[in-house]
Amino acid sequence: MQEKCIHKLYLQSWEGLKDNKKAEPELSPQDKKGQRTAIITGFISVAFGVAYLLLVSLLDSRGNVLHPPPPEAFGL
């Protein structure tokens, strides 16, 4: 019995939420321009991040064998 009441209250609140949705206000041209700028700069930053990761993995795949410098480099 209590479960039915809870379920009924849940459905009523859900219907109320669906009915109370307010229409989003129309954006001004300046806001649209700002959104476009944000999308473009976001895309550029993601592209830089991917390029950086590709560059690092390319440089890392060359191997990590480090040889000590020859003794002549120390002036000996």
Cβ atoms of 35 and 27 within 8 Å: the answer is yes
Residue 54: inside a domain:
yes
DSSP 51-64: HHHHHHHHHHTT--
What is the distance of C-alpha 31 from the center of its chain?
21
According to the model, what pLDDT value does residue 9 have?
A: 62
Number of domains in the chain: 1
Residue 44: inside a domain:
yes
Q: Across residues 60-67, what is the average pLDDT?
A: 81
pLDDT digits (tens, 9 = 90+) for 6-39: 666 666 665 655 655 566 778 888 888 999 999 9
DSSP at 75:
T
According to the model, what pLDDT value does residue 27 have?
A: 84
Other CB atoms within 10 A of residue 5 CB: 9
According to the model, what pLDDT value does residue 47 have?
A: 98
Q: Which domain holds residue 55?
A: 35-60
Instruction: Please state, for a pLDDT cut of 90, what percent of the chain lies above it.
Output: 34
pTM over 0.85: no
Write the CB contacts of 35 (distance below 8 Å, at least 6 apart in sequence).
27
